[in-house]
Amino acid sequence: MKKILTGPKSVVKKTAGFLLTATLFASLIPAMASAADRGAWAASTSYAVGDTVTYSGKSYQVVQPHTSLNGWEPPNVPALWKEVQGGGTVDNQAPTAPTGLKVSGTTTSTSITVAWNPSTDNVGVTGYDIYRDATLVGSVSGSTLTYTNTGLTPNTAYSYTVKAKDAAGNVSAASSALSVTTLPTSGGSDTQAPTAPGNLTATGSTTSSVSLSWSAATDNVGVAQYEVYSNGALAQTVTGLTATVTGLSADTSYTFTVKAKDAAGNVSPASAAVTARTQPTGGGGGQLPKHIVTGYWQNFVNGAKNLKLSEVPAEYDIIAVSFAEMDRSKPGGVTFGIDPDLSKALGGYSNADLINDIKAKKAQGKKVILSIGGEKGNIDLSSASPNVSNFVSTMSSLITEYGFDGLDVDLEHGFNVPNLTTAVRQIQAKVGSGFILTMAPQTIDMQNNQTSYIQFYNNVKDITTVINTQFYNSGCMLGRDGKCYSQGTVDFLTALTDLAIQWVQPSHLGIGVPATSSAAGGGYVSASVVNNALNCLATGNSCGSYKPVAKYPDIRGAMTWSINWDGMNGYSFAKTVKPFLSQLP
């Protein structure tokens, strides 16, 4: 639904129709309380949870209420539809068990605070139940990953577990148990601090974490816990001899120390410091800034500003040329060349001119890639042979001929995950380590970890540069907290990005928005709102009503459809968002 290839009048008409659909959707949700057999699936139809339809000889049941659109056929959007085989409930899949249960903050004589990593679910986690010695002691929302248990007895050991639950009442298995002892009451006779932990070592790192281990400290009574410090600030508290510090920035050095603490609250001197560096972002991103701006350059005429590639402002780090076309004479093959209407509008802009402009942009440190798909485009990779080999050979030839750095996957009508994975891997092997791979899934494609895009990402995350979700033409979508957020708001951008971060690392995620209200059927926000969303996700500031469960300083950046539409507005998007990204941590 991203690229509107018609003129301004058609854009207005499409926008009005979309808004009408969205209004009907919003007004019907409260009334659609009972499920029904709705017959054959149809576009522009409102469906309630539990409704059943038939499509291509199969039965499907609604997972989320929505108004259907072309391209949202049941097999394409498992976030909305679940195939029914011999009956069954709408959602009978339990969330995964929470992991990483640990002590968070300071344990006192009467309280213990625990924290954990988020669970995942096919629809969405709505809450967590906290158990102490197998007894339920508290519950929190799905966006909260910490709990403080008060009213405890001093100098007493307790065991904690956590379970996740979803809106359908499915409950996960329990997390691994965590044993914690409260501190004794003040005035005890133990005043001797433990010795400093020894042999602190960095055992591994990712783009956003460093793993540590150390030797045990000794104490006249006993060591109760260890405090891990990152650049002098307390990062976490653990009871064992290992820890993984998360939420770090990519390609950045950090200094760590560890202190031991006994049950009386005596704290040891710090261990010897160790310095470790997080990994750089993958997917050819080593020559790119940590935070990047991506824009699409239109190879067609549709009412937006007609541009030569040389006219693209320097604020754009990645330029996605749109689009390669399906070669209907060669299954799986693609073709590309300057659109004749665009060439004429630009006074005879040629393929040779574009090749020279790409070379000049690359000399300036920019990345130029070729996009496949779009609102109306598709690539036929339904068969492994000859489709995959045709796609690899034609795409590789185009990359070589024009000097592209890689490709963008913007397939909006479904795709064969194994075949696309094989094809992209083969192309990457031909291009080499500088290969750039980006994706532009629709909002619906990022609603759970079973979608085609998430499966594809899991196969190619090591060569992925960024996934820019199209946060527009979406209507109302579920955020991480299970609530439905309307497009065109800062909460929509943050809540849905927070949802996707359960499956995609922050350094691979970007916010995609239309450059102007004319560029899409709905979801436009000003560049300042984009900055607020990025700030909220990276630092926890400038948020709306939705608060992300954590801070993500590695958030990759932002994308707009399109550079041409941005040109109609004086490049407000690029000139507002790029300077802001440059000053993020």
Catalytic residue numbers read: 412
What amino acid is encoded at 565 in this protein?
A: W
Distance of CA 322 to the CA centre of its chain: 23
H/E stretch holding 361 reads helix 351-363
Q: What is the residue whose two structure tokens read 């960095």?
A: 202
Cα distance between residue 329 and residue 335, in whole Å: 11
Asked whether 170 and 96 are in contact (CB, 8 A), the reply is: no
CA geometry: angle 174, 175, 177, nearest 5 deg:
105
Q: Which of 372, 478, 365, 466 is nearest to 423 (CA)?
A: 372
Angle between helices 452-460 and 417-431 (to 10 degrees): 30
Asked whether 164 and 171 are in contact (CB, 8 A), the reply is: yes
What amino acid is encoded at 234 in this protein?
A: L
Structure-block tokens of residue 216: 């045990």
Structure-block tokens of residue 413: 């009508």
Structure-block tokens of residue 83: 């195939």
- Tally of CA atoms within 13 A in the half-sphere of 332 that contains its CB: 21
Helices and strands (H, E) in the chain, number of each type: 10, 31
Asked whether 371 and 321 are in contact (CB, 8 A), the reply is: yes
CA distance between the termini of the chain: 33
Structure-block tokens of residue 434: 């500088």
The contacts of residue 213 (CB under 8 Å, 6+ apart) are 199, 200, 201, 203, 241, 242
Angle between helices 572-582 and 527-539 (to 10 degrees): 20
Q: What is the residue whose two structure tokens read 């783009």?
A: 207
- Using a 10 angstrom Cβ sphere, with 0-12 exposed, 13-18 middle and 19 or more buried, the burial of residue 439 is buried
Cα distance between residue 488 and residue 26, in whole Å: 15
Cα distance between residue 333 and residue 505, in whole Å: 32
Asked whether 223 and 291 are in contact (CB, 8 A), the reply is: no
